[in-house]
Structure 1
Amino acid sequence: MTFSICVRETYEGEDGEEHTRYGVAVTTRLAAVGTLCPFANEHGAVATQSLVNVELGEKGVEYLADGLAVEDALSALLNADDGKQSRQLHGVDAEGTFAFSGDECMGWYGHVEREGFTVAGNLLTGESVVEATADAFEDADDDLPLAERLVDALAAGQAEGGDKREDLEVQSAALKVTTTEDREMTPYYNDLRVDASKEPVADLRETYELAGESFDAAVAKYEEEYENDEIDGDE
C-alpha cells in the first residue's frame, strides 16, 4: 500500500531530560490506511503494507514493548508468516532499524534504511518516491514538530509521483507520533487520519494545522482545569 516512513529521534524534554519519540506516516490510493498500516508506542514504530497483514504491526509494537530488538521482533513475525514474500514491513526502535520487502510485492517496490528512520513503498511510480521521502525528512528542520516533518516527507514522495494507480481516486493518509516522555496531555496533532480524500496529503496537512490550533485553544481556555484534573483531557 503505497509508501510510509518510520522514525526515531531523541530530544530534550521540558523536564531537561533526554527522551525518545517515534513517528510513522503513510499514504495510499485506498481508503482508511490508518486502520491498517501505522503502529507506534513508546518503544518504537512499525509499518506493515503491500499485501497487508495487520497482525505484523500489532504484534510488532507489542514485541518491542516486551523488550525485543526491532530486527529480532519483525524478523520473527515474518518467518512465521506464510505470506512473507507478499509483505513489506519496516520499523524502528530505541537502537535500530529494520526493513523488508518481499519478492512478490508489486512494482515498483523497495525500501531504504537511514540513520534513525526507514522508508518503504510498493506500486509506486519509481524508486525516486522513497528517495524523495527520505531526503525530505533527512533535510528537514529538526526544530519543527515531528508530525509536521512527517507530512512534509509524504508530500515530497507524492510530488515524485507516489502511488502509480491513477485510476483509483479515493486515497488516504495517516500519522502517529509517540514519546517516552510522561505528558499530562498528548497533543491532538500527534495521531491523525484522513480516511477518504482525493488529496490526502494536503488534507492531512490541513488537519494537522487545525488540530494544532484546537490543542492550543483548548489549553489556553482550560489550562487551570487541566492542571487540577477537573475535566477529561481527551474531550
Structure 2
Amino acid sequence: MTFSICVHESYTDDEGEEQDRFGVAVTTRLAGVGTLCPFVNEHGAVATQSLVNVSLGERGVAYLADGLAVEDALEALLRADDGRETRQLHGVDGDGTFAFSGDECGDWYGDREGEGYTVAGNLLTGPEVLDAVATTWEAAADDDPLPARLIAALAAGHETGGDKREELTVQSAALKVVDTAHPDPATAPYQHDLRVDASETPIADLRETYELAVQSHETAMELYEDSYEDDAMDEAEGVE
C-alpha cells in the first residue's frame, strides 16, 4: 500500500539552544494517506501502514510523550495487537529507532533502519525502492529544509518503482514535521504539515505545495511581520 520515512535530527538554533526535529513523509496509490499513516509530536515520529491500525500511530506518539523509548513503546503496542502480522510500524525518537514488518504484509515488503531514520514499504516493486529512499535521505545536504529532503526521499523511491499497483492511478502523499523550537501547530511553519489527498502526481504536487507554502510564508512576513509581532506581544502580555 505504502512507503514512508520517519526521521529525527538535532540542531542548534540562532540563540544557541539545542533543538530537535521529527518528521514523516509517506505516499501510496490510494487517496488520503495523510489522514491514516503519519504521526509526529515533539518527542518522535511514527508511521503505521500495510493493514493500517491508526491507534498504533496515535498511541505510539502519546507513549513517546510519556517518556517511553520508541522501541519499547511500539513493541508494546504490537504485542497487544492481534493483527500485528498484517502491520508495518516504524518510527524514531530522540535516541533510537524501531521498524517492524509483519509476515502477512503484501509482497514486496520490508524496512530499513539507519542513523536517525527508518524506512518501510509494502506492495512495492522491490527492495530497490527502500534503498533509494534511504540513500537519498543519507546523501541530502543538512542545510536543506527538512520537508524538502523528505519529499526528495519519497521522489527517489517513486522513481525507482514505488508502489507496484500501476492500475491505481489516484494516489496521495503527505509530510508532517514537528520542531521543538515551535511544537504548537498553531505557531509552526505552514510548510510543516502538508497533504495531497488525491492526485495522479502526488509527489510532484506535494513538492509544488511545499514550495508555494514557503513562498506564502515569506511574502506574509515581508508584508505583515510587524502585525504578527504585535499579536505575539499582545498574547504574551495577557499571560499572568
What's the TM-score once normalised by structure 2's chain length?
0.94
- State the alpha-carbon separation in 1 of the partners of residues 116 and 217 from structure 2: 28
Deviation at 1:148, TM superposition (A): 0.2
Matched, 1:209 2:214: no
| Segment drifting more, 178-187 vs 207-216 | 178-187
Asked whether the 8 Å contact 2:42–2:183 carries over to 1, the reply is: no
Deviation at 1:231, TM superposition (A): 11
- State the alpha-carbon separation in 2 of the partners of residues 200 and 145 from structure 1: 20
Deviation at 1:16, TM superposition (A): 1.4
Q: Which residue of 2 aligns with 1:44?
A: 44
Q: Which residue of 2 aligns with 1:219?
A: 221
| Aligned residue runs from structure 1 range 1-235, under 5 A | 1-182=1-182, 185-229=187-231
AA of the residue aligned to 1:220: E
AA of the residue aligned to 1:186: A
Deviation at 1:183, TM superposition (A): 7.1
Indicate the percent of aligned positions where both proteins have the same amino acid.
69
Aligned residues: 233
AA of the residue aligned to 1:154: L
- State the alpha-carbon separation in 2 of the partners of residues 23 and 15 from structure 1: 23
- State the alpha-carbon separation in 1 of the partners of residues 233 and 167 from structure 2: 47
AA of the residue aligned to 1:198: E
What's the TM-score once normalised by structure 1's chain length?
0.96
- State the alpha-carbon separation in 2 of the partners of residues 127 and 231 from structure 1: 52
AA of the residue aligned to 2:208: E
Asked whether the 8 Å contact 1:225–1:231 carries over to 2, the reply is: no
- State the alpha-carbon separation in 2 of the partners of residues 180 and 139 from structure 1: 24
Give secondary structure in 2 for the equivalent of 1:229: helix
Question: Which ranges of structure 2 fall in alignment gaps of 5 or more residues?
Answer: 235-240
Asked whether the 8 Å contact 1:39–1:61 carries over to 2, the reply is: yes
- State the alpha-carbon separation in 2 of the partners of residues 108 and 78 from structure 1: 21
Asked whether the 8 Å contact 1:4–1:26 carries over to 2, the reply is: yes
Alpha-carbon displacement from aligned partner over 1:64-99 (angstroms, at most 9, x marks no partner): 000000000000100000100000000000100000
AA of the residue aligned to 1:129: V
Asked whether the 8 Å contact 1:47–1:91 carries over to 2, the reply is: yes
